[in-house]
Structure 1
Amino acid sequence: MTIASALRPEVLATGLDAFLVRFALTPEPAAMTAARRLADQLESRAPEGVCEIAAALVSVFVRFDAALTDRAGLKAWLETLAQQTAQGPLEMPEPSRRWTIPVAFGAGEGPQLAEVAGALGLGEEAAVAQICAADLRVLTIGFAPGQPYIGLMPEPWNLPRMAQLNPSVPAGALVVAVRQFVLFGAESATGWQQVGRAAFRTFRPERQPPMPLQGGDAIRFARATSDEIAALADSPDPMGGAKLEVLR
């Protein structure tokens, strides 16, 4: 359970037809959990007129149709719901879906695994074991189409971003910083450290749906060899070996 005492939610006007419910200015674990819980509540019982709900790491964007709802009334309702959420209990809601995604770790697929493991005071094998044993969630999707921010790892994994930007990591790169992972759907620059690579792609416009991951999805990483990832990338499997389990 995360601690809710420091959370001070705000409901901020965003243009004429939207509000931003914000729990913090920085990515605190409690605020991330609160945002995910609020998004789940809104998605399950949104008031009439709410037409878009988009969760970020510590906030939730809520857009409404002004012809179908009362702006002041919706703001008051969101303020009450946000305060109730901030008071806890702050545990991640039970996931409705779980993904298992094969990843090759270390060597050419994760060139900074040794550096990450050293910062944790672990060997590479122990660091990979912790990653694969972690019960992770898609905290939000953003920055690029379908790109997930996945967390949270235990507190020792609160690793800083690199001082120098890595100008390019490949599609499928699994990178880590600040207790979170990002799984890149395309080649990208990053300030996070690459520990592995998957054949799974988080965005393919020709696939239905083009962005398979959803906020709140449970994630497990399964260790694979570099050859297995290469074979999955060349196979007709559109999911690169990733398996989806519907839990409820």
Structure 2
Amino acid sequence: MIETSRSGREGLLIVPLGDCALLVRFGDSLEDGANRAAQALAAALDADPIAGVVEVVPSLVSVLLRYDPAATEPFRLAGEIALRLSRPAEKPAGSHRIGVRFDGPDLAEVAAALGLTIADFIARHCAAPLRVLATGFAPGFVYCGFHGADLTLPRRQQVRPLVSAGSVLFAAGQTAIAASDIPTGWHVIGQTDFRNFDAARLPPTRLQAGDLVSFEALA
């Protein structure tokens, strides 16, 4: 394990995974600073690729680098990563408006648990744009955050075996959108016609990490 703390990045870890991957981890839990740091590194690696790296996979608070062990090695990669952390690149944030029919089976329960009427919950949910934290878990699945502490609920205790593509999900201070039929433990609060995944597109996802999403209630 390679540990570094530079430029205010206390606790940054670079962890070898097997003999052909490194994980750059910015925190042990999801919070805004760690997420932004992971996005900034991914952007820097996109702008200035490292020779020998064959894939870069950002997630909520970490970035996975897969590399060709015949072309490079972990300590050299760690040095190259440090250089990019010292001169981060930022992608321009896109802006999107997504219409939601707030008619999900968990909507009333969510509003009640937060001490709100359904109308108040919808208004609060849509009051400010959310930032795309990451895409993943399933193709096109998108995590958006963060809601304030007063709009935060844990996930459901029971997993639904299947929710449909376009389901709008709510939990842990975030809103997520399912782009395919999936099981989920998130609260289902609505449905959207927006689809974030098309295999024929390049890139296949319409929303990118760092983009801003404004949700609006449809009649």
> Structure 2 residue aligned with 1:30, among 17, 23, 33?
33
List runs of 5+ in structure 2 lacking aligned partners: 1-6
Deviations 1:59-114 (A, max 9, x none): 001233455556422213425655898xxxxxxx6743112111111xxx322122
Kindly indicate whether residue 52 of structure 2 is the aligned counterpart of residue 55 of structure 1: no
Kindly indicate whether residue 215 of structure 2 is the aligned counterpart of residue 218 of structure 1: no
Letter in 2 for 1:20: L
- Conserved? CA contact 2:22–2:74, under 8 Å: no
Letter in 2 for 1:52: E
- Conserved? CA contact 1:136–1:218, under 8 Å: yes
Change (3 A) 1:74 1:210: closer
Equivalent residues, number: 212
**Structure 1 SS opposite 2:215:** strand
Structure 2 residue aligned with 1:139? 133
1:15-164 map, 5 Å: 15-66=18-69, 69=72, 71-79=74-82, 95-105=92-102, 109-164=103-158
Letter in 2 for 1:134: A
Letter in 2 for 1:63: R
Kindly indicate whether residue 176 of structure 2 is the aligned counterpart of residue 182 of structure 1: yes
Question: How far off is 1:156 after superposition?
Answer: 2.0
Change (3 A) 1:118 1:139: same
- Conserved? CA contact 1:103–1:196, under 8 Å: yes
Structure 1 stretch displaced more, 200-209 or 173-182 = 200-209
**Structure 2 SS opposite 1:133:** coil
Tell me the distance in 1 between the aligned counterparts of 2:201 and 2:45.
28
**Structure 2 SS opposite 1:25:** coil
Taking structure 2 as the reference length, what is the TM-score of the superposition?
A: 0.83
Tell me the distance in 2 between the aligned counterparts of 1:46 and 1:196.
39
Deviations 1:2-53 (A, max 9, x none): xx98951100112333211012232233322221222223223333443422
Tell me the distance in 1 between the aligned counterparts of 2:14 and 2:168.
34
Tell me the distance in 2 between the aligned counterparts of 1:70 and 1:101.
43
Letter in 2 for 1:120: L
Structure 1 stretch displaced more, 149-158 or 42-51 = 42-51
Provide the aligned C-alpha RMSD in A: 2.7
Tell me the distance in 1 between the aligned counterparts of 2:202 and 2:45.
25
Tell me the distance in 2 between the aligned counterparts of 1:198 and 1:147.
13
Moved over 6 A (4+): none
Taking structure 1 as the reference length, what is the TM-score of the superposition?
A: 0.74
**Structure 1 SS opposite 2:29:** coil
- Conserved? CA contact 2:45–2:84, under 8 Å: no
Tell me the distance in 2 between the aligned counterparts of 1:6 and 1:47.
21
Letter in 2 for 1:114: A
